[in-house]
Structure 1
C-alpha cells in the first residue's frame, strides 16, 4: 500500500505565502509545513512509498523532494496535474489513477491532523473498498464537506451543500483506497470531472454511491485537526501543529 498526498492546489486565500508555494508547503510550525506533517504521519504507519500529486507551483515541491525524502525516510513519486489552476480536484486525484491498484491511504495536502487518523483507517475492518475518515464530534458549518449515512452505516451523501443539522459529520480529507476499488474509482472520477471540471473528488465518491457502491466511514473520535483554507485556519493550524510534530532536523 502507498501513501498519497493531494497537493496540487493554489490556496489563493493564503496569499502572500502561496504567491510562490503550493498550499501544502505553507509552514505551520517553524519550518515544518503541512506536507511535512502529512509525510511524517504516513511514515509513522510505515507507508514510505508516497505519491504526491502536484500542480500549482509544482517546482517548489520538486526543489524540496530530496530533502523531504531524507527528513521523513520516504520515497516520493510526483504526479503532475496539468490543469491544477483551471479544474478542481476530481481531476487532480484521477491523475494518480495508475497507483490506485496498489492501494493507497490518501490525505489532503491542506489538513493538519495527528497520526491517529491514519491508524484509525488502517485498523478498520475491511468491509468496503473505500473508507472515509469522518469527524462526528465537531459542530458543523456551511464550508465543511458533510456526510450522511444509510441506516446500515454506509455513506449516503457527501457534499458541502447540505444543512449542517442533517449531517452525521465531516469528511476530514483522509481516505483508505483498497486495491479492489481502483478501476471503479478512476471511472467515477472521470465521469465526475467530465460532467463538470469544477467538481471535487468527493463528488466522485457520491458518483460511486449513486452507482450502488458501498463506501464506509471511520469516526476519528475527539481529535484536534484543521483544514487550512485561509489565514484564520492557518492560525489554528499553528496552535495545534506543535502537539503533533517534532522539530525538523
Structure 2
C-alpha cells in the first residue's frame, strides 16, 4: 500500500499564496513562512504509519512540487512519484484521481492536498480493514454540518448510500474529510467509475465517482474518525484554522 496525495488544484481563494504555489504548498506553520505545508503534514502522517512510497498528482504550479521533491524525500524518509495532471486548471478532481489509476493497483491511502488532519485518521482507516471492505472513507460524525461540506448518508448494512455537497445537512450521517483507504481490488472498478464521471461532466468531483460506484452496487464503507480537529483549507478563514490545528500535531 502507498500514500497518494491530490495536489493539482489551484486554490484561487487562497491568493496571493496560490499565485505561485499549489494549495498543498500553502504555509500552515503559525508564522506563515512555509516551514510546514499541508503536504508536509500529510507526508509525515504517511511515514508514521509505514507508507514510505507516495504518489502525488500535480498540475497547477507543479514546478514548485518538483523543486521540493528531493528535500521532502529526505525530510520524511519517503520515495515520491509525481504524476502530471494535464487538465488541472480545466477539469475537476475526478479526472485528477483517475490520473493515478495505475498506482491505485498497489492499494492506497488517498489524502486531499488541502486537508489538515492528524495521523489518527490514517490509523483509524488502517484499523478498519480486514472485513472485506474495498474502499473506506474517513467520516466525521461529530461536526455540525452546513451547505459546503461533502456530506455522506450511510446505511449500517449497506455502507454509503449518498455522497454529495447537495443535500440537507440534517439528513447526513457525517462529513467525508478527504481521506480514503482504497484496496488494490477496487482500483479497476474505481478507475472506470471515475472515467464515466468526468466524461459525463469534467467539472465533477471524485466523490461523484464514489457515488457512481454506489449506484452500480459497489459497497463503499466508512470509518468514523472520532472527535478530532481537522480542516479543509479552501479560503483564508480556513487557513487561519489550519494554522491553529497544524501546530498541535
TM-score normalised over the length of structure 1: 0.97
Q: Which residue of 2 aligns with 1:156?
A: 161
Q: Which residue of 1 aligns with 2:37?
A: 33
Q: Which residue of 1 aligns with 2:185?
A: 180
Counterparts of 2:37 and 2:103, CA distance in 1: 25
Secondary structure, aligned partner of 2:144 = coil
Q: Which residue of 2 aligns with 1:58?
A: 62
Q: Which residue of 2 aligns with 1:20?
A: 20
Counterparts of 1:149 and 1:121, CA distance in 2: 16
Q: Which residue of 2 aligns with 1:8?
A: 8
Contact 2:47 2:77 (C-alpha < 8 Å) held by counterparts: yes
Secondary structure, aligned partner of 1:180 = helix
Given the alignment of the two structures, is residue 168 of structure 1 paired with residue 173 of structure 2, yes or no?
yes
How many residues of Structure 1 are paired with residues of Structure 2 in the alignment? 244
Q: Which residue of 2 aligns with 1:131?
A: 136
Contact 2:3 2:46 (C-alpha < 8 Å) held by counterparts: yes
Q: Which residue of 2 aligns with 1:147?
A: 152
Secondary structure, aligned partner of 1:67 = helix
Secondary structure, aligned partner of 1:10 = coil
Q: Which residue of 2 aligns with 1:247?
A: none
Deviations 1:93-145 (A, max 9, x none): 00000111100000000000000000000111333100000000000010000
Secondary structure, aligned partner of 1:221 = coil
Q: Which residue of 1 aligns with 2:238?
A: 233
TM-score normalised over the length of structure 2: 0.97
Counterparts of 2:156 and 2:77, CA distance in 1: 42
Deviations 1:182-208 (A, max 9, x none): 110000000000000000000000000
Counterparts of 1:5 and 1:125, CA distance in 2: 20
Counterparts of 1:92 and 1:182, CA distance in 2: 14
Secondary structure, aligned partner of 1:27 = coil
Given the alignment of the two structures, is residue 75 of structure 1 paired with residue 62 of structure 2, yes or no?
no
Secondary structure, aligned partner of 2:138 = strand
Given the alignment of the two structures, is residue 205 of structure 1 paired with residue 210 of structure 2, yes or no?
yes
Secondary structure, aligned partner of 2:28 = strand
**4+ long deviations beyond 2 Å:** none
- With 8-17 and 118-127 compared, the bigger mean Cα shift is at 118-127
Query: Which runs of no fewer than 5 residues in structure 2 stay unpaired?
Result: none
Cα displacement (A) at 1:153: 5.2
Counterparts of 1:47 and 1:78, CA distance in 2: 16
RMSD, matched Cα: 0.7
